[in-house]
Amino acid sequence: MQDYSVIGKRLPRLDGMEIVTGKAKYTDDIVLPGTLAGKILTSEYPHARILHIDTSKAEKLSGVRGIITGKNVPMVQYGFANFVRDEYPLAFDKVRYIGDEIAAVAAIDEDIAEEALDLIEVEYEELPSVFDPEEAMKPGAPRIHEHAERNICSNHVSHVIGDVDKGFRESDYVREDRFVTQNVSHCFLETRNCLADFNANGELTFWTSTSSIYLDRFVLSHLLKIPVSKIKGNRPFVGGGFGGKGETVSCQICAALLSMKTGKPVKITLSREEQFIADRGRHRWIFELRTGAKKDGTIIAKQCRAIADAGAYNSLSFLILMHSVGYFDIVYRVPNVRYDGDMVYTNNPPCGAMRSFDCVQLRLADDSHMDMLARDLGIDTIDLYLKNVSGPGDLTASRYKLDSNGLRECIERVRDDSGWRDKRGRLPVGRGIGFAVGASIAGAKSSNDDPDASSALVKINEDGSVNLLIAAHDAGQGSRTVFSQTVAEELGIAIDDVKVNFVIDTDIIPQDQGSYASRTTIGLGNAVLAACRDAKRQIFEVVADQLHASAEDLEAKDGVIYLKGSPDGRVSFKDEGGALSLCLTSKKVVFPIIGRGHFEPETEPFDWKTGEGNISIAYGFTAKVAEVEVDTETGRVKVLNVTSASDVGKALNPLFLEGQDEGAIAMGIGQALFEKLELDKGQILNPSFSEYKIPTALDMPRTIRSTWVETLDPHSPFGAKGIGEAVIVPMPAAIANAVYDAVGVRINEFPITPDKILEEVEKKGKLGE
């Protein structure tokens, strides 16, 4: 393997001191003189026609500066995926869930804005509503969107490969299971927000906590009819995203509209309760799974019927359904596959993208199901996976091209590192060990109307220091630092000589689509690499003259530019008389030397009816083993330790990879054991951290072992693949399987709470198997 000077090192975050000293500015920390506070009025009904909105009393309240309703905002629909746009900035005809935005107020402070909301009178005509996706699909169910027959988002998805029925007939054993997953919330600590400032020249400047400032700019431009050149987006530090800040939402649009109305800067920061309601987290899925296998564990056929509750608007739901198809067959080689899926509108709060694009729910169901299948067949679960696991170079049933795939190695690694062979089936009652796998896209592909491009600028200054200008939507993953490592490695300079921007300002920073789809590592990484090479080429041309060599034969490493294979042909990068001095006197270049880099993945055909098509540049893989202890009297589960191995392509900075994995393990534990948005007729019953609980330091296992498998993906800089999403995928299923191992009960409706465990244990009559 190639040896690197900066890549692969455990370097700390370059923006770390900003954060730990409290200097890092997040959106809510930014203040403009005379900023007004905005608040949004939302629907109290799950489904109702808006007959009349009276804002007159609110307008008279002292301190109120402006109010907008659906009547005076642009009647332009928006939504993340352009073929299923179904939202308006503020509802004007009807509301479709409790929380649907109706009006917004700007006032001199938040308390007054809040008081003004109480004074707005809305007259509704309640409509029949529906909250269960299976009910919503039935004929005669209330129709939530005019365009959606049977409340089905976009279209039914049907993916069939081989002959599934024949496959089941030829199987020695067929197992069926039904699982229901729960709604989970992102719970990033910084709620969504926006500070917008519209000025006399018709220019809009905004600051917002986002995973895609360019998308926000695009949506605002599209809605407000302001050219993008006159919209300046700023993305300061961001307090977590996990997929939940990739979509432009009402609070951003309302801040802009209120600023346009009042002529003053307006800031909207959602309260924690408002965030829970507007969050758009994980969907509730219903999975009916069927798998047929030979006695030796060879899988012959797999079938999935999936129905998911999209909530009141599409958001990213339909796209998520598309991914679910591919995630069903990405981890195995199966000749016969059928996946039937529907994303269904209901009057629940909308769901959206969250870490792994819901692969975690699918794998939770399927890995639970496969664990049972293995037990039925009398085969060790890990052996069953190893028998059927997908491999490098595979083209999956859904047409994913797995050019690099280290899943087998991940599985073997966690088996060996966790002591699986000694523990599985041998632990005392109440202790158990469980295994599961995960996968995720690691990048995106462009489709015809949706380019997935990244660009980067590298500026080499006359003193040899380098400015890297990139739209790295870093929310803690460390991408700013990793790309600085990339620059240092590629130019052969010290990381201290690289300065990267912490804030993304759309006026000056070259565009990148944002951090979603684990795309940054490959997408932006390739752009940064290209920018470095562009800058390097310019320097090399000058140095080549001096060394009487050709630029192609030069290389930069550890502060020196040298002629490949020739020990004497070398110049220092920045010392007196070195490459930079040459450049200063050369007519071929001017300072700063600017390298431009651009990357756009190839466009590949994708079939929206079947969910088939190579959706990503690369795919990340992971396997995890969890060991748990179940208190057999109280049903409480303690996760004792977790062993994890992930195919990251190439570990660019192990410190950050561990951070991603450890954070995902925490999130996975929450999802497995207690996190659930409680809904009653569309009303969220637990919109606070005191009722919707996330893991604390005391809920974590005391031992976590994170390791990497390096498969060097051919499409990526240094071979690395984004892994932030894949790492969470196996965690809930590993726990579910460990709980089964511990007490012999299977909970089919998640999360796995003590109540349910005890109930099942009691039904079963005795512990263990």
Tell me the C-alpha to C-alpha distance, in Å, between residue 215 and each of 203, 245, 276, 450, 602: 17, 11, 23, 11, 20
Query: Which of 36, 500, 664, 729: binder of other proteins (CB under 8 A)?
Result: 664
Which one of other proteins, ligand FES, none is in contact with 665 (Cβ closer than 5 to 8 A by kind)? other proteins
Rounded least distance, CB 335 to other proteins, Å:
39
Which one of other proteins, ligand FES, none is in contact with 697 (Cβ closer than 5 to 8 A by kind)? other proteins
Which one of other proteins, ligand FES, none is in contact with 200 (Cβ closer than 5 to 8 A by kind)? none
Three-state DSSP state, 725: coil
Mask 225-264, x = binds other proteins (CB under 8 A)? ------------xxxxxx----------------------
Within 10 A of 426 (CB to CB), how many other CB atoms are there? 10
Rounded least distance, CB 751 to other proteins, Å:
9
Using the rule CB under 6 A, is 189 a contact of ligand FES?
Answer: yes
Rounded least distance, CB 210 to other proteins, Å:
13
Using the rule CB under 6 A, is 476 a contact of ligand FES?
Answer: yes
Closest to ligand FES by CB, 45 vs 188, is 188
Label residues 389-403 b or e (16+ Cβ within 10 Å = b).
bbeeebebbbbbbbb
Using the rule CB under 8 A, is 718 a contact of other proteins?
Answer: no
Which one of other proteins, ligand FES, none is in contact with 690 (Cβ closer than 5 to 8 A by kind)? other proteins
Name the residue type at position 454.
S
Rounded least distance, CB 116 to ligand FES, Å:
24
Can you tell me the distance from the alpha carbon of 478 to that of 524, in angstroms, rounded to the nearest whole number? 13
Rounded least distance, CB 182 to ligand FES, Å:
22
Rounded least distance, CB 763 to other proteins, Å:
13
Tokens of 635: 């049903």
By the 8 A CB rule, do 264 and 35 touch?
yes
Q: Give the angle subtended at the CA of 452 by the CAs of 710 and 354, to the nearest 5°.
A: 70
Ranges within 726-755 binding other proteins (CB under 8 A): 753-755
Rounded least distance, CB 279 to ligand FES, Å:
16
Label residues 124-151 b or e (16+ Cβ within 10 Å = b).
beebebbbbbeebbeeebbbbbeebeeb
**177: which residues sit within 8 A by CB, 6+ positions away?**
288, 289, 365, 368, 369, 372, 748
Using the rule CB under 8 A, is 430 a contact of other proteins?
Answer: no
Closest to other proteins by CB, 221 vs 271, is 271
Rounded least distance, CB 8 to ligand FES, Å:
23
Closest to ligand FES by CB, 189 vs 395, is 189
Can you tell me the distance from the alpha carbon of 373 to that of 30, in angstroms, rounded to the nearest whole number? 55
Which one of ligand FES, other proteins, none is in contact with 461 (Cβ closer than 5 to 8 A by kind)? none
By the 8 A CB rule, do 316 and 210 touch?
no
Which one of ligand FES, other proteins, none is in contact with 633 (Cβ closer than 5 to 8 A by kind)? other proteins
By the 8 A CB rule, do 230 and 2 touch?
no
Using the rule CB under 8 A, is 7 a contact of other proteins?
Answer: no
Q: Give the angle subtended at the CA of 485 by the CAs of 479 and 489, to the nearest 5°.
A: 145
Query: Which of 344, 475, 524, 738: binder of other proteins (CB under 8 A)?
Result: 475
Mask 121-160, x = binds other proteins (CB under 8 A)? ----------------------------------------
Query: Which of 666, 733, 734, 736: binder of other proteins (CB under 8 A)?
Result: 666
Mask 235-254, x = binds ligand FES (CB under 6 A)? -----x--------------
Cis check: omega of the bond before 592, within 30 degrees of 0: yes
Within 10 A of 199 (CB to CB), how many other CB atoms are there? 12
Rounded least distance, CB 730 to other proteins, Å:
15
Which one of ligand FES, other proteins, none is in contact with 723 (Cβ closer than 5 to 8 A by kind)? none
Query: In which residue are the tokens 């600051």 written?
Result: 207
Using the rule CB under 8 A, is 272 a contact of other proteins?
Answer: yes
Name the residue type at position 32.
L
Query: Which of 1, 22, 449, 548: binder of other proteins (CB under 8 A)?
Result: 22
Can you tell me the distance from the alpha carbon of 636 to that of 642, in angstroms, rounded to the nearest whole number? 18
Using the rule CB under 6 A, is 659 a contact of ligand FES?
Answer: no
Closest to ligand FES by CB, 83 vs 689, is 689
Ranges within 644-663 binding other proteins (CB under 8 A): 655-656, 658-659, 662-663
Rounded least distance, CB 627 to other proteins, Å:
16
Can you tell me the distance from the alpha carbon of 472 to that of 172, in angstroms, rounded to the nearest whole number? 51
Using the rule CB under 8 A, is 698 a contact of other proteins?
Answer: yes
Rounded least distance, CB 327 to other proteins, Å:
23
Strands (E), 368-489: 394-395, 401-402, 431-441, 454-460, 466-470
Which one of other proteins, ligand FES, none is in contact with 2 (Cβ closer than 5 to 8 A by kind)? none
Label residues 302-329 b or e (16+ Cβ within 10 Å = b).
bbbebbbbbbbbbbbbbbbbbbbbbbbb
How big is the site for ligand FES, counted in residues (CB under 6 A)? 3
Can you tell me the distance from the alpha carbon of 599 to that of 521, in angstroms, rounded to the nearest whole number? 12
Tokens of 719: 């071979």
Can you tell me the distance from the alpha carbon of 566 to that of 707, in angstroms, rounded to the nearest whole number? 38
Q: Which stretch binds other proteins (CB under 8 A): 13-21, 312-320, 405-413, 528-536?
A: 13-21
By the 8 A CB rule, do 414 and 625 touch?
yes
Can you tell me the distance from the alpha carbon of 11 to that of 651, in angstroms, rounded to the nearest whole number? 12
**319: which residues sit within 8 A by CB, 6+ positions away?**
80, 81, 353, 357
Can you tell me the distance from the alpha carbon of 381 to that of 386, in angstroms, rounded to the nearest whole number? 9
Using the rule CB under 8 A, is 12 a contact of other proteins?
Answer: yes
Can you tell me the distance from the alpha carbon of 377 to that of 290, in angstroms, rounded to the nearest whole number? 15
Which one of other proteins, ligand FES, none is in contact with 17 (Cβ closer than 5 to 8 A by kind)? other proteins
The H or E element containing residue 260 is helix 250-262
Rounded least distance, CB 218 to other proteins, Å:
24
Using the rule CB under 6 A, is 20 a contact of ligand FES?
Answer: no
Rounded least distance, CB 266 to other proteins, Å:
16
Rounded least distance, CB 360 to ligand FES, Å:
19
How big is the site for other proteins, counted in residues (CB under 8 A)? 70
Rounded least distance, CB 189 to ligand FES, Å:
4
Burial (0-12, 13-18, 19+ Cβ within 10 Å), 588: exposed
Rounded least distance, CB 656 to ligand FES, Å:
12
Which one of ligand FES, other proteins, none is in contact with 75 (Cβ closer than 5 to 8 A by kind)? none
Can you tell me the distance from the alpha carbon of 187 to that of 424, in angstroms, rounded to the nearest whole number? 34
Closest to other proteins by CB, 515 vs 737, is 515
Query: In which residue are the tokens 């490459």 written?
Result: 579
Rounded least distance, CB 663 to ligand FES, Å:
8
Which one of ligand FES, other proteins, none is in contact with 629 (Cβ closer than 5 to 8 A by kind)? none
Can you tell me the distance from the alpha carbon of 612 to that of 602, in angstroms, rounded to the nearest whole number? 16
Residues engaged in binding ligand FES (CB under 6 A)? 189, 240, 476
Residues that bind other proteins (CB under 8 A): 10, 12-13, 16-17, 19-26, 28-29, 31, 111, 186-191, 237-242, 269, 271-272, 475-478, 633-636, 655-656, 658-659, 662-667, 673-674, 688-690, 693-700, 702, 704, 753-755, 758-759
